[in-house]
Structure 1
Amino acid sequence: MMLGNFNYVGGATYSVTSAQALANPYNAYMNLQKDFWSANTPSVVLGNAPLSVLLNTVTDSHFNTRDRMGRTLAFMARNLADGWVSPAAATITNEHAIAVNEQIALLLETEPVTGDVQASIVANPGVTGYAYFMNTISSPMCDATSTVTAKALDKSCTGTFTMANTPVNRLTGTATRSANLFDVSTWRATTNAVTANFWSYSIDVSHGALNSTGNGGSIY
């Protein structure tokens, strides 16, 4: 939860839901903070993130049970819209989200030969669960209310938003720790990943609704 450089900060009496975040990514409950680990912030004395590959990453947990896919995608949209990450010219690959189910541990370690950070997964006995790696490839747009053309997502948006073709990479965990299945440094599956423990698909955000392609219609 604390390894990412972008954080969602809930309140004592609230935690933003997917429905709220999708309906308005700038609603009052979307309290996002950045630079938790950054040495560029004078008040932070912890230095850089322990893993530099997570400096442009937002994390989420209790993912499936609390239906948090929508809010995580909204977190990513806000990070882009607010200029916390800079999109590449054609493909946005430098903003990431990592989310896990409850009773799941996602383990990151440095591969000794290449130096890449790679992920394995393990679950509590009797539990099968998932971890998700996502990155954006299209800029989020504020859904227009009075014109045909959508406008850039920003603080003036008071409604839903659109963000197309977000890649989702899902790791399946059981009580036996997996091999390293996902390379976080290159953001792609390792040669150990097979359909039994790794699956990729995409999700569209459109007018507050989520649509999945390549996963039988399921967003999880």
Structure 2
Amino acid sequence: MSTNSFSHLAGRICLGFGSVALALAATLSAEPAVAGPTFEVAKPVPLYSYYALGDVNAPVTAPASRPTPSFVLMGGGPDVDAAFRWLIQRAAITAGSGGRFVVIRATGDDAYNPYVFYSDDSLSTSKDVKELWVGGASSGLTSVETLVIPSVKAANSPAVNAIVAKANVVFIAGGDQSHYVRFWKGTALEQTLKGLMKKNVPIGGTSAGLAVLGQFDYSALYKSATSEKSMLDPYYKDITFDPSPLSLSGGFIAPPELESLILDSHFDSRDRMGRLVTFISRIVAPTATPSGSFGCSGGVLPASSSGNKTARGIGIGVETALLVQGNGVGNPVTATRVTNPSTTSESAVYFVRPSVPPSVCKPQQPLSVSTVEVRKLADPKTVFNLTDWTGVPTYKYVDVNAGQLIPADWY
């Protein structure tokens, strides 16, 4: 999430209150008042919270639909300013057109609103945009709005969905992706988001927001899985997916342009290659050959070093964003990588694909899978072809042998 927090700048509007507990009243009497226990009136719990910065009633002439899709896949940590500007540009928002940028999350506050709207820490809308600011108003945004949607009931709220439906850009904040799957899947909000995707409204997400943008999502319903435990038991309890059981349909949101993919964030800083290889392995369908049985029970896709309907994953480092765009019918989906000028990390993106199915993938047994391709994108000029999985050469191959990643220093 953004490191800029200016919640006092935007008025908070809490709508849709539930029942209110009433305080007990002291009984009137003719006797002199005697000090007794006091009771506080319970505050109503808002169904959702809505924060707005700018003019939400300003006329918007930016197009409600776009010819091709756009997605920002952000790896968590410091937000990448240029990625937000790219979303605004892809929405065809310009000076004078107006445009609404809507952030959705299940917890948190309005910290994104000033970061996206203003150009610097003096809260100006100057064309001279400083680092750590997006300068959305100077690009034509008339409002940045944040919805905190913490329940199924809130996700079904007509008011919530009316706000999201009018967005020119949607961004899913970080937090806990289990909340997004538990609270938003199967609701009116999911249908609203799918409706926006059909119109190619640009959509982005970071960290937990990134995790729910693949065809397959690591749903993290319990504790966050680690690489070490994942490789030692690819079915251990903290590895949970959406859809569950794994399926080629029924996933939350599941943009068609990101088919066959599972996504992971904070990739280098939290040493997540082992767990991503495990996640992808779990997607590999079981196969029987004369030499034995391979793959993972419950898997749904083949492992292969060619083709675009094979088990694949993308790991994205901190302070890194992958800008994904469609290019028209019959053309491949492509991606480029951006980061902030002052980043101190490598800010790389890793494209991971097993070329052969796992040889051992069973509950309570260490995973074994060999010849997993890793392609690394760490510059801003290279265009990666997501459809054909080309654009950068293979960086290295990794194996998991009896639960151990080889080489361990994969980055």
1:125-166 Cα deviation digits (max 9, x unpaired): 222310011111111122xxxxxxxxxx24xx3121110010
> What is aligned with 1:161?
367
Task: Decide whether the 8 Å contact of 2:373 with 2:394 is kept in 1.
Answer: no
> What is aligned with 2:293?
none
Q: Distance in 2 between matches of 1:167 and 1:53?
A: 21
Which structure 2 residues correspond to residues 116-155 of structure 1 after superposition, within 5 A? Answer: 116-127=332-343, 128-142=346-360, 153-154=361-362
- Superposition deviation, residue 40 in structure 1: 4.5
Q: Distance in 2 between matches of 1:103 and 1:137?
A: 29
> What is aligned with 1:186?
388
Q: Secondary structure at the match of 1:205?
A: strand
The structure whose RCO (Cα within 8 Å, separation 6+) is larger is 1
Which structure 2 residues correspond to residues 209-220 of structure 1 after superposition, within 5 A? Answer: 209-212=404-407, 218-220=409-411
1:1-58 Cα deviation digits (max 9, x unpaired): 132011112246x2010011011111111112228xx9953x96x5xx43x2422110
Letter in 2 for 1:25: P
Give the structure with the higher percent strand.
1
Q: Distance in 2 between matches of 1:54 and 1:171?
A: 18
Instruction: Quote the sequence identity (%).
Output: 28
Task: Decide whether the 8 Å contact of 1:92 with 1:138 is kept in 2.
Answer: no
Q: Distance in 2 between matches of 1:179 and 1:91?
A: 25
Q: Distance in 1 between matches of 2:231 and 2:248?
A: 32
Task: Decide whether the 8 Å contact of 1:171 with 1:199 is kept in 2.
Answer: no
> What is aligned with 2:213?
3
> What is aligned with 1:147?
none
Q: Distance in 2 between matches of 1:55 and 1:82?
A: 20
> What is aligned with 1:22?
231
> What is aligned with 1:56?
260
Query: Normalising by structure 1, what TM-score?
Result: 0.74
> What is aligned with 1:115?
331
- Superposition deviation, residue 114 in structure 1: 6.1
> What is aligned with 2:115?
none
Task: Decide whether the 8 Å contact of 2:333 with 2:386 is kept in 1.
Answer: yes
- Superposition deviation, residue 167 in structure 1: 0.4
> What is aligned with 1:85?
300
For residue 316 of structure 2, the aligned residue among 94, 100, 103 is 100
Letter in 1 for 2:384: F
> What is aligned with 1:67?
271
Residues 1:158 and 1:113: Cα distance change in structure 2 (over 3 Å): closer
Q: Distance in 2 between matches of 1:79 and 1:39?
A: 10
1:90-148 Cα deviation digits (max 9, x unpaired): 75751110110111011111346962111100112222310011111111122xxxxxx
> What is aligned with 2:396?
201
Residues 1:32 and 1:113: Cα distance change in structure 2 (over 3 Å): closer
Show structure 1 runs of 5+ residues with no match.
Answer: 143-152
Residues 1:18 and 1:39: Cα distance change in structure 2 (over 3 Å): closer
Give the structure with the higher percent helix.
2
Letter in 2 for 1:118: T
Task: Decide whether the 8 Å contact of 1:171 with 1:181 is kept in 2.
Answer: no
Letter in 2 for 1:55: E
Residues 1:208 and 1:92: Cα distance change in structure 2 (over 3 Å): farther
- Superposition deviation, residue 203 in structure 1: 0.4
Task: Decide whether the 8 Å contact of 2:283 with 2:301 is kept in 1.
Answer: no
Q: Distance in 1 between matches of 2:371 and 2:249?
A: 33
Aligned length: 185
Residues 1:131 and 1:110: Cα distance change in structure 2 (over 3 Å): same
